[in-house]
Amino acid sequence: MSFYLVLIALIGLTVTGYYLGRSRAIKSVDGNARILHSRPHYYGYFVALWCGLPAILVLAVWTTMQTPIVESIIQSSLPASVTSDDPAQLSLIMNDIRNLASGNITSGEITSDLRETADRFNSLVAIGDLARFGVILSIAIAAIAFFRSRITPSFRARNRVERILLVLLIISSTIAVLTTVGIVMSLVFESLRFFEKVSPAEFLFGLEWSPQTALRADQVGSSGAFGAIPLFAGTLLISFLAMCIAGPVGLLSAIYMAEYAPTKVRNTVKPLLEILAGIPTVVYGFFAALTVAPLMRDTGLDLGLVISSESALAAGIVMGIMIIPFVSSLSDDVINAVPQSLREGSYGLGATKSETIKRVILPAALPGIVGAFMLAISRAIGETMIVVMAAGLGANLTANPFEAVTTVTVQIVTLLVGDQEFDSAKTLAAFALGLVLFCVTLCLNIIALTVVNKYREQYD
Amino acid sequence: MTDIVMNSSPRPTDHNQDRAAKASDAVKRGLKKRYAAERRFKAYGITAIAIAMGFIAILFGTIISNGLPAFSETVIKLEIDVSEEIIDPTKERDPAVIRAANYRKLVFDDFRALFPDVTARRDKRDLTKILSSGATFEIQRLVTEDPGLIGKTIILEVPVAADFDLYNKGVISRDVGEDDRRLKDKQLDWFDALVEKGMIETRFNTTFFTHADSRDPELSGILGAAAGTFFTMLVTLMLSFPIAVAAAVYLEEFAPKNKLTQIIEVNINNLAAVPSIVFGLLGLAMFISFFGLPRSAPLVGGMVLALMTMPTIIIASRAALKAVPPSIREAALGLGASKMQVVGQHVLPLAMPGILTGTIIGMAQALGETAPLLMIGMVAFIVDVPGSITDPATVLPVQVFLWADSPERAFVARTSAAIMVLLGFLVFMNALAVLLRKKFERRW
């Protein structure tokens, strides 16, 4: 009784519910639908919604809960000699049981006990699946029977259906809030667990970052230093380099397009620039690692400079290319929002176009441009793939763009990719970094959006 | 003004004319400079645009010139005598025996027979390195599927090893010193001999589109990643489209203007700007470690991407709903429709082109997204093509990331080719969005 079978059966029942409800309504007035309070299909929707929604909710809960419950049953049935040992051993055995049950290879040799437990696991899952099928279908059928019996000619089906739909709409609109709550909760809880092991002051102000935790007590390099300053510095350095490219190029092209370019040029250049925003970041990362970084290194060699092949410069330049369209399209909007009267006033006084732009339009548009730059910086700070592929891994506290630095996002990825124990300081550190990243970008965004909105209101 | 009043000269007009002439002289003298500044400023703008366009050209140029070679592959035509002695000495055609037979020997013996003068052990080993390991698997597959082939001679077209493929395409050349390349001169001589015999052919690279990932570049393809992308996008679309449209409809058409809806609105705007990697952390902490959903599965990937694209779709849908003029709503209400009927039967259908455009753009974003998927374990090396949303899978951008990290030189071309496929999809989706907007957008 697989999940899909239950789902298909449920969909079938829901459709049946629709027709049963509709036919019942029509029958209750002997085919004269005009006597009914609502049009007949609303009676159908009413039954179908009540048949499908509760059942699908139960199905979702059941499906997520079944495996944990089965596992806890199996775990409690294991002999005490296994469960009393350390938790790592237990999780290994549970893994073996799971793998054996699904026909995969196991870590050790298959004992008859293990085989028996795996069979029991499978039979429990089978029983669970069968019970799920039975329970879901009976809920659906019971709902059809009950709500169909409530249909009378004066039953206000349309209002009921509309109320259900409205509730669904409200639930959907809260998902966005729930996502934020989920992000904040998962980041905060894991970070709190991290701060139990490492003090927040050490994390935020420490100068050394080497997240290796020791497996043995006497291991070399087991210090496990979690000072994030080098990461913040690296992130800022790369973002700064990126803004050095994206700022002037984006702003100047926005000015040209808004003030000088004939419509034809504007209509071709603008979409072309927006192509840059649509390219996946992994492509930029590949470009940075394969083309730009070696080019920088070789140019450096020719000039007698030592440029690391994972230099901050390469990552920064490519990231700058990536955020050009953010700067240019936001600045373009902002410049276009400056009222025409300001321009005309300036021309009337005999100013040239560039003087008007420099002395009238840019000062007027400044708040909006600052907002655009802040959004671009927040984008650069949160960017991951370019730096993962082109920047370094070693935490290096330097302001030299020719050296390799690492960033917050690079460290999050390196700490979390691969199988990790979920409660080591190393893994949890990633969530603490994520929390910092989230807070910083959120602040930048909120400030930028407020600035831009204030600015828009000013000229509306 | 004050000047004139204070001026006690008997001929003020003359004096003014003088001043005006002086001023206009000053202006004229300055004009040249000012016009030069004007031209300079305009040139800065053009340069900025030229730089941006140059970046686009270089980016695409590099990717395409790197990726084009991957669309052809070098194959070798081998005549293989499927000898019964090696495959099935018992002659019982037991499938287990046939499957476990020594196909390596079968292929290698026939291949070595082409070069009878190669006798040294080491040379023999170097010689067989021309063949891809896929040759053995290919013949094994053919024979197990059709045991009737045993005892016959078949002609097998199999890819050559990736380095020889590069040599054939001219990427690796003899000009480089022997110590600086992975292929020995001897191997190149043998390969040239094969070319002379007409056994080497270049054909369109079907392997790239019909295989999943592999450690051997010549056997790796994007089918696995493409299937993973399909399942992930399916989950994303199924979740984000209905929920986002419902949320947009509620916020735009039903929500009372109060603190709560204002919070939701601010929230959605900010969510759109949260770094994607944070969504990955959410997926890891919530979906995988709290709810215990499977790692590396398109189901979780799709859910994370759905949360990520939802704000984009909500914002676009609200704009589309806002663009429907109030007169439509008023007319429907006047005819006695309920609020829900107005929205469902009139406003939503009219806003649909705009909503769909927003959805396609959101999906295009999700299609190119890599970082959050790294967090939830979709970076595993997966050789099987996933068959459902709970199988371990990877997606195209992650495949690009994995290949870009591989040290083998042949993967550079594969990576670029995979990027070209990915960009092809994106161009298609964006073109569709533009088309949809052009065709169905109504100006009221």
Put simply, the chain B residues between 62 and 101 with a CB less than 8 A from any chain A CB are: 62-63, 66
Residue keyed to tokens 């045991």: B147
Q: Where are the domains of chain B?
A: 2-68, 72-211, 223-440
pLDDT digits (tens, 9 = 90+) for A307-323: 887 888 889 999 999 99
CB-based burial label for A21 (10 Å; 0-12, 13-18, 19+):
buried
pTM (two decimals): 0.86
pLDDT digits (tens, 9 = 90+) for A419-442: 666 667 778 888 899 999 999 999
Q: Is the dihedral of CA B19, B24, B27, B29 positive or negative?
A: negative
Q: Which residues of A touch B309 (CB under 8 A)?
A: none
Put simply, the chain A residues between 246 and 305 with a CB less than 8 A from any chain B CB are: 248-253, 255-257, 260, 269, 272-273, 275-276, 278-287, 289-291
Q: Which of A248, A353, A388 sits opposite B38 (nearest CB)?
A: A353
Q: How far is CA A285 from CA A385, A416, B346, in A?
A: 6, 19, 46
Residues of chain B with pLDDT under 70: 1-14, 443-444
Q: Angle at the Cα of A179 (from A174 to A182), degrees rounded to 5? A: 125
Question: In this structure, are residues A273 and B52 in contact, taking their beta carbons and an 8 Å threshold?
Answer: yes
Question: Checking DSSP bridges between strand A225-226 and strand B153-159, what pairing results, if any?
Answer: unpaired
Q: Which residues of B touch A248 (CB under 8 A)?
A: 48
Q: Which residues of A touch B339 (CB under 8 A)?
A: 162
Residue A339, token pair as written in the block: 């009222």
Question: In this structure, are residues A44 and A15 in contact, taking their beta carbons and an 8 Å threshold?
Answer: no
Asked whether the beta carbons of residue A280 and residue B340 sit closer than 8 angstroms, the reply is no
Put simply, the chain A residues between 53 and 112 with a CB less than 8 A from any chain B CB are: 64, 67-68
Residues of chain A with pLDDT under 70: 1, 80-88, 104-110, 212-224, 418-423, 459-460
Chain B CA closest to residue A409: B277
Q: How far is CA A162 from CA A14, A33, A212, B70, B336, in A?
A: 18, 20, 57, 56, 15
Distance from CA of A121 to the nearest CA of B (A): 17
> Which residues, other chains included, contact B192 with Cβ-Cβ below 8 Å and sequence gap of 6+?
none
Q: How far is CA B116 from CA B17, B192, B195, in A?
A: 107, 16, 17
Distance from CA of B141 to the nearest CA of A (A): 23
pLDDT digits (tens, 9 = 90+) for A41-67: 889 899 999 998 999 999 888 887 887
Q: Selecting from 1.10.150.130, 2.40.100.10, 1.10.3720.10, 2.60.120.10, what CATH number does the domain A225-459 have? A: 1.10.3720.10
Distance from CA of A433 to the nearest CA of B (A): 10
- Give me the residues paired with residue B72 across strands: B204
Note the pLDDT of residue B3. 47
Note the pLDDT of residue B92. 72
Put simply, the chain A residues between 344 and 373 with a CB less than 8 A from any chain B CB are: 350, 352-355, 357-358
Distance from CA of B146 to the nearest CA of A (A): 28
Task: Report d(CA B262, CA B258) in Å as an integer.
Answer: 6
Task: Report d(CA B135, CA B125) in Å as an integer.
Answer: 15
Residue keyed to tokens 């989706």: B429
Asked whether the beta carbons of residue A282 and residue B368 sit closer than 8 angstroms, the reply is yes
pLDDT digits (tens, 9 = 90+) for A72-130: 888 777 776 666 666 667 777 777 777 777 776 666 666 777 778 888 888 888 888 88
Using the Cβ of B296 and the Cβ atoms of chain A, whether some distance falls under 8 Å is answered with: no
Note the pLDDT of residue B444. 66
Distance from CA of B419 to the nearest CA of A (A): 7
Residue A210, token pair as written in the block: 């080497």
Torsion of CA B104, B106, B112, B114, to 10 degrees: -140
CB-based burial label for A143 (10 Å; 0-12, 13-18, 19+):
buried
Q: Which residues of A touch B368 (CB under 8 A)?
A: 278-283
Q: Which residue, among B39, B254, B284, B405, would best test binding to A if mutated, counting the most A CBs under 10 Å from its CB?
A: B284
* CATH 1.10.3720.10 domain extents, chain A: 225-459
CB pairs under 8 A between A and B: 248
In total, chain B counts a number of residues equal to: 444
Note the pLDDT of residue B333. 93
In the chain, the amino acid numbered A363 is P
Note the pLDDT of residue B4. 47
**What class has domain B223-440?**
mainly alpha
Q: Which of B264, B273, B338 sits opposite A162 (nearest CB)?
A: B338
Q: Which residues of B124-137 are buried (b: 16+ CB within 10 A; e: fewer)?
A: eebbbbbbbbbbbe
Q: Where are the alpha helices (DSSP H) in A29-156?
A: 40-77, 80-83, 87-101, 112-149
Task: Report d(CA B314, CA B381) in Å as an integer.
Answer: 35
